[in-house]
Amino acid sequence: MNQLDALRQFTTVVADTGDFHQLAQFQPQDATTNPSLILKAVQKPQYAPLMRATVAQWKGRGLDEVMDRMLVRFGCEILETIPGRVSTEVDARLSFDTQATVTRAERLIELYQAAGVHTARVLIKIAATWEGIEAARLLELRGIHTNLTLLFSFSQAVACGQAKVQLISPFVGRIYDWYKKQAGASWDEAAMSGSNDPGVQSVRKIYEYYKHFGIGTEVMGASFRNTGQILALAGCDLLTIAPELLAQLEEADDALSPLGRVLDAQQAKAMALTRWNLDEASFRFAFNEDAMATEKLAEGIRAFTVDTRKLEVLMQQTAD
């Protein structure tokens, strides 16, 4: 058995890519996309015809609408390959506007429905700002399921659980990046790996809190830098993994170091934990106290905004 198969015994494997031609190789249950992954995909020759066809079909419509139609087109192609759900992201520029996020999410769902895709197979990705979490709460009440992304702090996870969102994507690698950068020359890679990795610890804390208090929101670890981080979270509800790391797991022989369950819901239920209750003011204060989360959320929104604009430029050039 390879490590990817071993991981599947404990965790639902999700592919983190916009390159749907890669998916069949790894047989993931679900798939996630974001503006950066879609931008990367459309610059490959095999995806250029898809972008040209989408832009040509909807030429004359607003750029935001054409963008959504292209995202949904990619999502539909992905759903032809996987049995589960695809995550499609709302424009990061709406991260601080609850109503605009709700409106955009509803349009994405309408486009999927027009393509014959059932709502249950789509997760709308939204940045885990206070406004984004509130938008997700409203969408869930309307039967539209959400994936709260760019999640770096326990306070974000608590608020998402209170909002009863379908799924959260706590970022492992970007948390690791921040602490490694802060430590500089004093960083000890070996000592800070596996269960000691700060990104791994963040996801574990969230998972244990959710399972202890019976919170139904799914936990999907995301943004990995190495396979060690992935294996240290075996047992997490889901893990979304880039194709390069999926390939490494597939090539690794599990017999050399057999993988066991690391995160365990039953063990979490027996832990002594304190329940949090956050309103907007207490959320904002708790989040502000976390320098890492504050910086990484802002950085993530800026990065996705830049890539969304680059994608718009490519579409405009294609239309011209």
Known catalytic residues are 125
Q: What is the DSSP letter of 21?
A: G
DSSP codes, 192-217: TSGGG-HHHHHHHHHHHHHHHTT---
Residue 145's closest CA among 171, 117, 164?
164
Measure the CA–CA gap between 34 and 305, rounded to whole angstroms: 11
Residue 220 tokens read as 């999907």
Residue 82's closest CA among 228, 215, 225, 240?
240
Find out whether 219 and 206 touch, Cβ atoms under 8 Å.
yes
Residue 17 CB burial class (10 angstroms; 0-12, 13-18, ≥19): buried
Taking 3-state DSSP, the helix, strand and coil percentages for the chain, each rounded to the nearest 5, stand at 60, 10, 30
Helix (H) or strand (E) holding 251: helix 243-251
Residue 148 tokens read as 């709260």
Measure the CA–CA gap between 32 and 28, rounded to whole angstroms: 10
Q: Kindly report the three-state secondary structure assignment for every residue of 145-203.
A: CEEEEEECCHHHHHHHHHCCCCEEEEECHHHHHHHHHHHHHHCCCCCCCHHHCHHHHHH
Identity (one letter) of the amino acid at 111?
L
Residue 193 CB burial class (10 angstroms; 0-12, 13-18, ≥19): middle
